[in-house]
């Protein structure tokens, strides 16, 4: 119990002292995860919306794969990206392995199916509601796609936030492709793992508190914006 209390005390001191090591790790974590989520979102939104609005034979197959990949194991994604980016791999010449670029790639792959699957479901539901009205106003399918994405912005925000939560909290993929190199690829989750294994519980706990705080903070901001929008324009 006293060790637990000491860990909290040490974590508090590190946070109050604005420890530069901690904040370097936090900054890199945010940079990697936010970039990964932005890239994944730019691909996943049109992909999910297109799947929602198009009908073709075998459509159930990509939908099933997308839904299944929402639960992709991070270590498997990490391994796949490692094989792609390693010197002997097809993308080895870019020298991305053990760089933040590799970590962004892995996290983007990890969250893309999650955001795309949630987008597909959201847009499909909206299309049921909007299709006739939009068609009668002269909107074709190409025009409906951005319209429905915008109409679903409040719900889609939740999907993107889920993606961010998955990205910033995962450890397996970034550990494999980033290597947890101090000052280069060390992010909050890999640092927590390392510090815990070294018995440096105060540092680990401090990072853990920041990780949870950031997740809550970003979700709170996004939900506040979403709530304001719903109040302004109606549900």
Binding site for another protein (CB under 8 A): 129-130, 132-133, 135-139, 143, 147, 150-151, 153-154, 229, 232-235
Least spacing, CB of residue 153 vs another protein, in Å: 8
Q: Which residue's CB is nearer to another protein, number 55 or number 232?
A: 232
Least spacing, CB of residue 235 vs another protein, in Å: 7
Least spacing, CB of residue 127 vs another protein, in Å: 11
Q: Pseudo-torsion of CA 60, 68, 77, 175, nearest 10°?
A: 150
Q: Which residue's CB is nearer to another protein, number 55 or number 87?
A: 55
Nearest Cα residue to 25 out of 216, 190, 163, 176: 190
Q: Which residue's CB is nearer to another protein, number 108 or number 127?
A: 127
Least spacing, CB of residue 125 vs another protein, in Å: 12
Q: Which residue's CB is nearer to another protein, number 139 or number 209?
A: 139
Q: Which residue's CB is nearer to another protein, number 3 or number 133?
A: 133
Least spacing, CB of residue 229 vs another protein, in Å: 8
């Amino acid at each position: 119990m006293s060790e637990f209390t000491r860990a909290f005390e040490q974590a508090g001191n590190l946070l109050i002292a604005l420890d530069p090591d901690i904040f370097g790790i936090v900054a890199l974590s945010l940079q990697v995860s936010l970039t990964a989520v932005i890239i994944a979102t730019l691909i996943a939104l049109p992909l999910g919306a297109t799947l929602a609005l198009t009908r073709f034979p075998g459509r159930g197959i990509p939908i099933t794969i997308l839904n299944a990949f929402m639960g992709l194991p991070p270590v498997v994604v990490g391994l796949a990206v490692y094989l792609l980016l390693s010197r002997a791999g097809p993308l080895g010449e870019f020298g991305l392995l053990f760089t933040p670029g590799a970590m962004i790639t892995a996290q983007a792959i990890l969250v893309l199916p999650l955001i795309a699957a949630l987008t597909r479901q959201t847009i499909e539901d909206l299309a049921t509601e909007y299709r006739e009205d939009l068609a009668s106003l002269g909107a074709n399918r190409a025009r409906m796609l951005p319209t429905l994405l915008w109409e679903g912005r409040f719900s889609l925000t939740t999907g993107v936030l889920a993606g961010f939560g998955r990205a910033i909290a995962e450890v397996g993929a970034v550990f494999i492709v980033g290597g947890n190199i101090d000052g280069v690829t060390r992010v909050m989750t890999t640092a927590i793992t390392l510090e815990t294994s070294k018995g440096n519980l105060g540092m680990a706990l401090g990072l853990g508190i920041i990780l949870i705080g950031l997740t809550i903070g970003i979700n709170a901001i996004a939900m506040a914006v979403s709530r304001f929008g719903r109040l302004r324009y109606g549900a």
